[in-house]
Amino acid sequence: MHPFIRTRKRQWSRAPLDIECEVAVEAERFRARLKQISEGGLLLQSNEKLPARPFVVSFMLPGGGLLRVAAESRYQNQYGYGCQFTKITPELRAQIDAFLKRTKKLYSDIQFGMATQRPVAQLAPLLRQAGLDGVTEPKELKRRVSDAMDLLLSAGR
* Three-state secondary-structure class, residue 144: helix
Q: Does position 57 have pLDDT exceeding 70, yes or no?
A: yes
Q: Is pLDDT of 155 > 80?
A: no
- CA distances from residue 67 to 26, 29, 44, 89, 98 in whole angstroms, order as listed: 18, 16, 15, 11, 14
Residue 81 has φ and ψ, to the nearest 5°, of -105, 125
Contact 75, 81 (CB under 8 A): yes
Considering the entire predicted model, what is its pTM? 0.84
Where exactly does CATH 2.40.10.220 map onto the chain?
14-88
Coil, strand or helix at 96:
helix
CA–CA gap between residue 100 and residue 90 (Å, rounded):
15
Predicted local confidence at residue 52, as pLDDT: 83
Give the pLDDT confidence of 68-89 residue by residue, as tens digits: 999 999 999 888 999 999 989 9
Indicate whether 154 pLDDT > 90: no
Assess whether pLDDT exceeds 90 at residue 138.
Answer: no
Q: Does residue 65 carry a pLDDT above 60?
A: yes
What is the pLDDT confidence band of residue 156, given thresholds at 50, 70 and 90?
Answer: low
* pLDDT of amino acid 157: 46
pLDDT band at 142; cut points 50, 70, 90: very high
**The predicted structure's pLDDT at residue 1:** 45
Q: Give, rounded to a whole angstrom, the gap between the first and last alpha carbons of the chain.
A: 14
Superfamily of domain 14-88 in the CATH hierarchy:
predicted glycosyltransferase like domains (2.40.10.220)
pLDDT at site 125? 92
Compute the C-alpha angle 38/96/102, nearest 5°. Answer: 100
